[in-house]
């Protein structure tokens, strides 16, 4: 900096150090609690020296909450959502930016509105749709008289039904159905020079060719950023998987945390709970640590 | 902004948008419409038909003291946790932006909370703030009955606010830091040369230039405080004690899925949707007027 401000620098360090403690303390406390035994973890105040039972507790938490398959489910769901968003958003943004057709503005607004209403607020009817994902189409056929017509002609009663509860598709699809990524791509595509598309067209390349060979490679950074953000976001989802995975085989690691809340009465098994918490916290934390240098740089680049 | 060059044939253009359109129709517009329809009917659980009741659902919700309590709790939660998370993050980001020894280490660590799932940190904080074990128990020993989130509504509210703001300090920090670093160094150095101090420079240069980020984060924080709070409440307090932390999203869930009152839950969803849309519109107006884009 340009001037010498020793007193200010001192207070800066003091406050930053407090912020550092504020951010790290919960992780440290969780890790230490996970290393104690039942008696030590319930000591008042709890000892801040690590105990010796860390691996035993991790193992117990792992088996009690059956975390292996749950982590795999979380991974499948998060990767599915990330991949789905990255692909579908790119396709839509391409359509909006590089084509001129009637209703384009309408499509833009239809997608834009989805940003305003998160899954949480339309959770009850979304659940009903996932219980039978074809119900909207059945309803349309009923109202338009189409199912009546089909029944008259062929004698077959139309009843479409496809339940997605307890399935990966059901976990993933509703989370993809918002526009978060579309706008990121749209902003980026708008900055791509027109000359590129012109040149591509003169060389006789069609829309698809231009999209795959030129536009997508240029948006590599955007794809990685969106993919990371969506992976974290999906991994950390709670309400949706809690609702639609009634069957343990599709439950995710985050929803399993609820099983680890110690019972009231008796000595609470906080050491096991904290070991489980640590395991569930770790994967997204690793992603953040690996991506952060690049992440902040990406944000600055878009600002400038 | 429009592209000069476009690819002709509109049929192909629409095809690219079709997957997204099918998805948002099935999982967004249909359920949202369904919510409006249900809120105006009395829906029997598990498909026993429904009766048109007009605005009766809204009337009965708005006449219910529990619902008003839930709105007050949500607004309290949103105001305090957003305020805390924004101010703390802004202070930390501004200080890290000054290039001192060690800033980089702080930067690395302050981003961590962003990645943690709300329910995981909720369980961590449930332990850290437990009245019978650990540190708050030590305080209670010294000062009996000081802290009991299981019985005292204010303590329970404080617990969920702490957990939520902790996560969003990390989130806001990233955006504030990015915005601050985008300000050209030369601008700040020129001001310093003219003899303006650190505080003066913050208010006259940095703060005005990051107003877009501040408003953006304000709205994100407030909307998230209405949604992302679900996991925290479910793990930490289950809406208790005595509904003290029964925030709006949690109430929709417990009335809809535990009470099987679909119509009531749908009507509550509509009110929450309107609230969030209203907030978004306010933000857009505000930003358009107050913030100059470069």
Angle between helices B65-97 and B211-227 (to 10 degrees): 140
Residue B288 contacts A where some CB pair is shorter than 8 Å: no
Question: Which residues of A are less than 8 Å from B30 in CB distance?
Answer: 125, 129, 136
Residue B51, φ and ψ in degrees, nearest 5 = -115, 135
Q: In terms of CA atoms, which chain A residue is nearest residue B7?
A: A99
Q: What single-letter DSSP state applies at residue A263?
A: P
At A113 the three-state DSSP class reads helix
Does the distance separating the beta carbons of B6 and A210 come in below 8 Å? no
Phi, psi of A58 (to 5 degrees): -60, -45
Q: What are phi and psi of B91, to 5 degrees?
A: -60, -50
Q: Do B60 and A209 meet the contact criterion of CB atoms below 8 Å apart?
A: no
Contact B24 A304 (CB under 8 A): no
How far is it, in rounded angstroms, from Cα B29 to Cα B39? 15
A76-A302-A196 Cα angle (round to 5): 90
- Predicted confidence (pLDDT) at residue B253 exceeds the cutoff of 50: yes
Predicted confidence (pLDDT) per residue in B199-210, tens digit: 888 888 888 888
Q: Name every chain B residue with its beta carbon within 8 A of the beta carbon of A9.
A: 100
Contact A133, A125 (CB under 8 A): no
Give chain B's length: 294
Q: Which of B1, B99, B234 sits opposite A1 (nearest CB)?
A: B99
Residue with tokens 């049929």: B11
Question: Which of B39, B94, B115 has the most A C-beta neighbours within 10 Å, making it the best mutation to test the interface with A?
Answer: B115
CA distances from B8 to A3, A36, A187, A202, B176 (A): 59, 67, 21, 14, 42
How far apart are the C-alpha atoms of A271 and A262, rounded to whole Å? Answer: 10
A182-229 tens-digit pLDDT? 888 887 888 888 888 888 888 888 888 888 888 888 888 888 888 888
* B5 contacts A129? CB cut-off 8 A: no
SS3 assignment, position B52: strand
Q: Which residues contact residue B51 at a Cβ distance below 8 angstroms, ignoring those fewer than 6 apart?
A: B41, B42
- Candidates A3, A243, A292; nearest CB to B192: A3
Cα separation, B256 vs B67, in Å, equals 14
Tell me the pLDDT of chain A (304 aa) as tens digits. 556 678 888 888 888 888 888 888 899 999 999 998 888 888 777 888 888 889 999 998 898 888 899 999 999 999 999 999 999 999 998 988 888 888 888 888 888 888 777 777 788 888 888 888 888 888 888 888 887 888 888 877 777 778 788 888 888 999 988 777 888 888 788 888 888 888 888 888 888 888 888 888 888 888 888 888 889 889 999 989 998 888 888 889 999 888 888 876 667 888 999 999 999 999 998 888 887 766 666 555 444 3
Answer whether B193 touches A (CB < 8 Å): yes
Q: Is B243 on the interface with A (CB under 8 A)?
A: no
**Which of B:8-27 have CB within 8 Å of A?**
10-17, 19-21, 23-27
Query: Angle B205-B209-B215 (CA atoms, 0-180°, nearest 5)?
Result: 135
Cβ-defined contact of B28 to A178 (cutoff 8 Å): yes
């Amino acid at each position: 900096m340009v001037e010498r401000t020793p007193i200010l620098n001192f207070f800066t360090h003091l406050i930053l150090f407090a912020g550092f403690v504020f951010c790290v303390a919960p992780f440290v406390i969780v890790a230490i609690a996970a290393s104690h035994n039942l008696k030590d973890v319930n000591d008042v105040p709890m000892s801040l020296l690590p105990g010796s039972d860390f691996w035993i507790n991790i193992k117990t938490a792992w088996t009690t909450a059956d975390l292996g398959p749950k982590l795999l489910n979380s991974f499948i769901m998060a990767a599915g959502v990330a991949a789905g968003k990255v692909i579908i958003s790119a396709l839509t943004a391409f359509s909006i930016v590089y084509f001129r057709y009637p209703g384009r503005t309408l499509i833009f607004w239809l997608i834009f509105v989805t940003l305003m209403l998160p899954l949480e607020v339309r959770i009850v009817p979304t659940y009903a749709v996932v219980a039978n994902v074809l119900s909207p189409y059945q309803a349309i056929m009923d109202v338009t008289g189409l199912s009546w017509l089909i029944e008259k002609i062929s004698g077959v009663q139309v009843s479409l039904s496809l339940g997605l509860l307890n399935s990966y598709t059901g976990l993933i699809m509703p989370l993809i159905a918002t526009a978060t990524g579309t706008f990121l791509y749209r902003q980026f595509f708008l900055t791509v020079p027109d000359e590129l598309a012109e040149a591509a067209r003169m060389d006789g390349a069609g829309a698809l060719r231009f999209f795959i060979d030129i536009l997508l490679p240029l948006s590599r950074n955007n794809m990685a950023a969106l993919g990371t953000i969506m992976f974290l976001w999906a991994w950390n989802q709670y309400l949706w998987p809690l609702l639609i995975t009634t069957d343990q085989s599709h439950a995710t690691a985050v929803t399993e945390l609820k099983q680890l809340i110690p019972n009231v009465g008796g000595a609470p098994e906080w050491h096991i709970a904290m070991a489980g918490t640590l395991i569930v916290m770790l994967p997204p934390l690793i992603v953040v640590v690996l991506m952060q240098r690049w992440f902040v740089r990406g944000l600055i680049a878009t600002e400038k | 902004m429009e592209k000069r060059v476009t690819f002709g044939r509109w049929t192909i253009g629409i095809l690219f948008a079709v997957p997204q359109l099918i998805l948002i129709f099935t999982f967004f517009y249909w359920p949202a419409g369904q919510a409006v329809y249900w809120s105006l009917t009395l829906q029997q659980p598990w498909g026993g038909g429904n009766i048109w009741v007009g605005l009766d659902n809204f009337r009965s919700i708005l006449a219910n003291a529990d619902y008003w309590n839930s709105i007050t709790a949500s607004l309290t939660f949103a105001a305090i946790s957003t305020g805390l998370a924004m101010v703390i993050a802004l202070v930390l980001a501004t200080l890290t932006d000054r290039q001192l020894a060690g800033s980089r280490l702080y930067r690395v660590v302050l981003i961590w909370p962003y990645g943690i799932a709300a329910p995981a940190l909720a369980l961590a904080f449930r332990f850290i703030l437990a009245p019978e074990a650990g540190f708050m128990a030590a305080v209670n020993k010294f000062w009996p009955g000081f802290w009991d989130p299981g019985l005292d509504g204010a303590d329970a509210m404080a617990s969920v606010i702490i957990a939520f703001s902790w996560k969003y300090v990390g989130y806001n920090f990233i955006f504030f830091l990015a915005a601050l670093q985008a300000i050209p160094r030369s601008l700040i150095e020129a001001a310093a040369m003219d003899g303006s101090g650190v505080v003066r420079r913050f208010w006259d240069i940095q703060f005005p230039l990051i107003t877009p980020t501040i408003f953006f984060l304000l709205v994100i924080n407030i909307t998230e405080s209405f949604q992302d709070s679900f996991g925290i409440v479910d793990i930490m307090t289950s809406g208790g004690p005595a509904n003290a932390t029964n925030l709006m999203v949690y109430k929709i869930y417990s009335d809809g899925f535990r009470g099987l009152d679909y119509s009531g839950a749908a009507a509550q969803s509509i009110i929450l949707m309107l609230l969030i849309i209203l907030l978004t519109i306010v933000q857009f107006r505000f930003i358009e007027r107050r913030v100059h884009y470069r």
